[in-house]
Amino acid sequence: ILAELTARLREHAAEIRLAASALASLDAIFARAHFAIETNSIVPTLSPDEAPVFHLKDARHPLLDDLFRRQRKRVVPFTLTLDGPLRTLLISGPNTGGKTVTMKTAGAFALMAQSGWPVPAAEATLPVFADVLADIGDNQSIEHSLSSFSAHVARIREMVEAAQSGALVLLDELGRATDPDEGGALGVAILDEFRRGGCYTLASTHLLAIKVYGSTTEGVLNASMGYDEDSLAPTYILRTGAPGKSAGLDIAAKLGLPERLIRRARSAMSSTGRDIARFLSELEASVQSARAEAEALRARRQQLEARERALERDMARREAARLREIEEQVEKAQKRFESEARATIERVLAAPEQRKQAERALRQVATTKRELHEAVRTVARGEQPAPAPAPESIQPGARVRLRDVGQPAKVLRLVGQDRLEVEVGLLKMQIPLAEVLEVLPPGPSAAPSFPSGVTFSGAGPRWDTLTRELNLIGKTSLDAEEELERFLDAAMLGEVTRVRVVHGHGMGVLKRMVHELLAKHPAVEKHYPASPSEGGNGATIAELRAG
């Protein structure tokens, strides 16, 4: 029976192997997802080869994290960054302070990232390491006649031979198990070999020579594990920028070594050793103080920036409210003034003999309205209006620039206290003194030329070629309104009886403004949509009252 069953299964061996492989892949995927959820892990980022970055923020060893979670304890995370030419990190500090765990975490993250596993950290960006080489722990062997130092040197020899650019090298207690001076010198040479080879190196040490190397060599950074001087206990916090002291005597006392032995050891230390230990303690305290001050300044700067942004928003709101209030007041005053002025003009227009005075009043209304709009815009932009030229500077023969006139005018004579006669091309006119915007420097003399829109006949200048069309497409409602008023004033002066205003279709804003203005303008007899050949609903025809 078993043989028959086996024969039947053999027919489906390929399918069974494929199903087993798919099941294993799915099981691995679910295991990684479960691990990520349980350890609050993230998917690490692999940095490009041309710009490699080794950055870990709030990293936790996965095994230690699991152990502490079951014990309801919290792992102290660490943060490190190696990028650009900086590729070597030397970690010093107290025994049992977390140096080895930090290196093991970095190595585990490197292997996990390149195996597609999430890592327990807040941020993680790693290069694709060419290899991961480690010398951690004591590999002495009685069987192979290897002392601690011999095993240490043998492992480092293998690592030096295998190392290539981009490899991750982990060295625990570099230079150990021999004379400190010789061990320090050997450690410096080994570190420099890996640095020159382009490796990423994390090494822990207690040796002064290696700490000095970290402080004096480009591309190498000292770091220390935190130590609480009051409680004589490690804090397990990784701080970069300065080496740390080993605090061996303090740790020994903490672990229960008799006090008499600690006293003898302290008295046996050389003055140089005591000075170095004191210097490292003071250096660590200074670095911590500087970090605290920098953090306080950073927090203060953030508060000031937030307050500045709040004040700017408040000022903007106040300014906007003030401008809205000004515009509303101006709009009300303008409508009241315009309504009263137009009512007066309509009454005057009923008397033919008063028509010219009415036309002048109408032009003055339009001019005053434009000046009012311009003043409001000037206030809104925060600008100061240009000062009017001094009256004594406006003398016969002077060249001046007039409001709403495109070319310079020449002053012919002064008329009374507040008017003057000017010449624009071949056209002579009398205008209020307030229409002069500025006095221009003398220009080259030129033969008289015909102004735009004017021809000359035996009877004098005539507005028979005045442009009879105005295109407002693309303009804002306010600018279009002002331009339309100027256009109607000019048409009325030129005795034009029919004009076309092009406003397009769009959202209907310009069209509505044009119709409202034409409906209340005293010079307009009637208005209506243009014929299809003249633009249809995209243009409006206005017929003006005859003179």
In a 10 Å sphere around its CB, with 0-12 CB exposed, 13-18 middle and 19+ buried, how is residue 262 labelled?
A: middle
What is the spatial distance between Cα 265 and Cα 187, in angstroms, rounded to a whole number?
A: 26
Kindly write down the DSSP assignment for every residue of 388-456, as one continuous string. Answer: PPPGGG--TT-EEEETT-SS-EEEEEEETTTEEEEEETTEEEEEEGGGEEEEEPP-------PPTT-EE
Read off the DSSP letter of residue 344.
Answer: H
CA distances 162 to 38, 111, 131, 158, 190, Å, are 36, 17, 9, 6, 14
Q: Which run of H or of E encompasses 236?
A: strand 233-240
**How far apart, in whole angstroms, are the C-alpha atoms of residue 489 and residue 471?**
16
* pLDDT per residue as tens, the chain (547 positions): 788 888 888 888 888 889 999 999 899 889 999 999 988 999 999 999 888 999 999 999 999 988 888 888 889 999 999 998 999 999 998 877 889 999 999 999 999 999 999 999 999 999 999 999 999 876 655 554 457 788 888 889 999 999 999 999 999 988 887 888 888 899 999 999 999 999 999 999 988 889 889 888 999 999 988 877 777 678 888 988 888 777 777 777 777 788 888 778 777 665 555 556 666 666 666 666 777 777 788 888 888 888 888 888 888 888 888 777 777 776 776 677 667 666 665 665 565 555 555 555 555 555 556 555 555 555 555 544 556 677 778 888 888 888 756 568 888 888 887 888 888 765 677 788 888 888 888 765 444 444 344 444 434 334 444 457 888 888 888 888 888 888 887 777 777 788 899 888 877 888 989 999 999 888 889 999 988 888 888 899 999 887 5
Structure token digits, residue 489: 């004033």
Token representation of residue 71: 């014990």
- Report helix angle 2-10 to 13-39, nearest 10: 80
Residue position matching structure tokens 């009325």: 492
The per-type count for the chain, helices as H runs and strands as E runs, is 13, 21
Pairing state of beta strands 168-171 and 132-135? parallel
Question: Helix (H, G, I), strand (E, B), or coil: what is residue 461?
Answer: strand
CATH architecture of the domain formed by 466-547: 2-Layer Sandwich (3.30)
Q: What is the pLDDT of residue 465?
A: 40
Domain residue extents for the chain: 1-39, 44-255, 386-465, 466-547
| Topology of domain 44-255, CATH | Rossmann fold (3.40.50)
pTM over 0.85: no
d(C-alpha 72, C-alpha 340), whole Å: 84
What are the E-state strand segments in 60-122?
Answer: 78-83, 88-92
